[in-house]
Copies of this chain bind each other. A is one copy, B any other.
Amino acid sequence: MPQTLLTPAAFAATDLVDHHCHGVVEHALARPEFETLITESNWDAPAGTSVFDSQLGTAIRRWCAPLLDLDAHVDAERYLERRAELGARDVNERLLRAAGIDRYLIETGYRGDDILDASEMATRADASADTVVRLERLAEQLVGSLEHGSAYAEAFRARLAAEVTTAVGVKTIAAYRLGLDFDPARPTDAEVAAAAEAWMRELSAGAEPRLEDAVLIRFGIWCAVDAQQAIQFHIGFGDPDVDLHRCDPLLLTEWLRLTRTSGARVLLLHCYPFHRNAGYLAHVFPHVYCDVGLAINYVGAASPQVIAESLELTPFDKALFSSDAFGLPELYFLGAHLFRRGLTQVINGWIDADEWDAATGESLVRKICGENAMRAYQLEPDAVFGAGR
């Protein structure tokens, strides 16, 4: 029997919240720099090869080219020429506005000087934008101003409290700096003071302020718990600084038990290839949410499969959308575009198999696109059409 399928109109019924992304760069990009922004590798591809020969590169040629007035599947060289002809600002505006993202939650802790800030992003995208604070960056900004390790704990708490008067949540990169098998227990004040003192000694000896101390990273996370924040965790793949086998979200299980009733919400970002594990955690822990951002862009045409897997155990009220885009407007556009296409394909597959009806699909779309992020971040609905517009 013919089923009523989900249509693009399902997405028009809700605002789309990108709950984790960064800002775009806005300068002329030569091919090498562009290529570094479409790979998670930190190094050049082998001689004679190009990172355009990938799912993401193919998706850029397919979907972004027409937005720059080119044919779909144009070659990379021509694509980059056209990009240069239009100029960075025009390209940013075209692709960001085509993304159809209504609200950006922008994490500001990574290469903040190279990218547009939240207010500029809001303008370019004709959308609203809020900020998310990186806990480790906060510590790195703070530590230089202290005289004694014993002042660290109080100073950090105060700084965090000040930040979250405007920021809508926090982010931790414990996955990168420690691995997710970190000690789940709350560190004691004495441990914090001693660790801060040790770090300050390193800084006095001339070290760059880069927070790698396990006690202080854990302390930052626990401060966010106490402040009942929405706490984003990098999970799963990323650049090769990460030990991916230590980024399985299941390693957070004990910490999730300890924080379940705290009032904090935990947002598991990216999660690939552990997205099924993340879905399990979102299923059993009331305060856990997850997404497959970043992965959708990188797996490109294969993203419906990843989206489907992420919707196996994850409750419909716990799945989120993010692009995790950084630098290139292509990544925001594709993050949203491939998400909408993939989610539609997955839901319509279930409707077509006579398992779902369209109403269930439409409800899921509203939840993932916006309602779940609104709940997890305790966002005010009005603010969606706020300062950025």
Judge if A273 is at the interface, Cβ distance under 8 Å. yes
Inter-chain contacts of A58 with B (CB < 8 A): 355-356, 360
B355, A59: Cβ atoms under 8 Å? yes
Residue contact A283 to B40, C-beta cutoff 8 Å: yes
Given contacts A245-B253, A315-B51, contact A305 B301 (CB under 8 A): no
Q: List which A268-284 residues lie within 8 A (CB) of chain B.
A: 272-273, 276-277, 280, 283-284
Task: Give Cα A169 to B224, complex, Å.
Answer: 49
A273 neighbours in B (Cβ, 8 Å)? 276-277, 280
List A residues 343-389 near B (Cβ within 8 Å): 345, 350, 353-357, 359-360, 363-364, 367, 375
Stretch at the interface among A24-32, A194-202, A236-244, A321-329: A236-244
Binds B, one of A5-13, A79-87, A306-314: A306-314
Q: Which residues of B contact A73 (CB under 8 A)?
A: 357, 359-360
**Contact across chains for B253 and A53 when beta carbons are under 8 A apart:** no
How distant is A155 from chain B, measured CB to nearest CB, in Å?
33
A357 to B46, CA, bound (A): 25
Q: Known contacts A299-B313, A363-B53; decide if A286 and B44 are in contact (CB<8 Å).
A: yes
In the complex formed, the residue of B with least CB distance to A73 is: B357
A343 CB to nearest chain B CB (Å): 13
**Whole-angstrom CA separation of A59 from B353 in the bound complex:** 12
Q: Report B-chain residues with C-beta under 8 Å of the C-beta of A308.
A: 302, 305
Number of copies: 3
Contact among B53, B237, B251 with A316 in the assembled complex (CB-CB below 8 Å): B53
Nearest residue, chain B, Cβ from A248: B245
Chain B residues contacting A375 (CB-CB under 8 Å) are 46, 48-49
Residue of B nearest to A306 (CB): B312
A100 CB-CB contact with B under 8 Å: no
In contact, A253 and B260 (Cβ under 8 angstroms): no
A42 interfacial by beta-carbon distance below 8 Å:
yes
B317 contacts A62, C-beta separation under 8 Å: no
A214 within 8 A of B: no
- Any B CB within 8 A of the CB of A335: no
What is the bound-complex CA distance between A45 and B50, given in angstroms? 47
A285 within 8 A of B: yes
Verify if A166 is at the interface (C-beta below 8 Å from B).
Answer: no
The answer to whether A353 touches B40 (Cβ under 8 A) is no
Cβ–Cβ contact A317 & B46, under 8 A: yes
> Given A286-B46, A300-B355: A245 and B251 within 8 A (CB)?
yes
Max chain B CB contacts within 10 Å: which of A59, A254, A284, A359?
Answer: A284
Q: A48-B375, A239-B284, A244-B277 are in contact. Are A298 and B317 (CB under 8 A)?
A: no
Q: Report if A312-B317 is in contact (Cβ < 8 Å); known contacts: A44-B286, A46-B375, A73-B357.
A: no
Q: A309 to chain B: which residues have CB within 8 Å?
A: 302, 305
What's the minimum C-beta distance from A370 to chain B, rounded to whole angstroms?
14
**Could you list 18 A-B pairs, sorted by A, with CB under 8 Å?**
A40-B284, A45-B317, A46-B286, A49-B375, A53-B363, A54-B283, A54-B316, A55-B313, A58-B360, A239-B284, A240-B285, A244-B277, A245-B250, A245-B251, A298-B313, A299-B312, A302-B312, A302-B350
With A44-B286, A46-B317, A245-B251 given, name 14 new contacts (CB 8 A). A39-B283, A39-B315, A46-B375, A49-B317, A50-B317, A51-B315, A53-B317, A54-B315, A55-B312, A273-B277, A283-B298, A301-B355, A305-B309, A345-B353
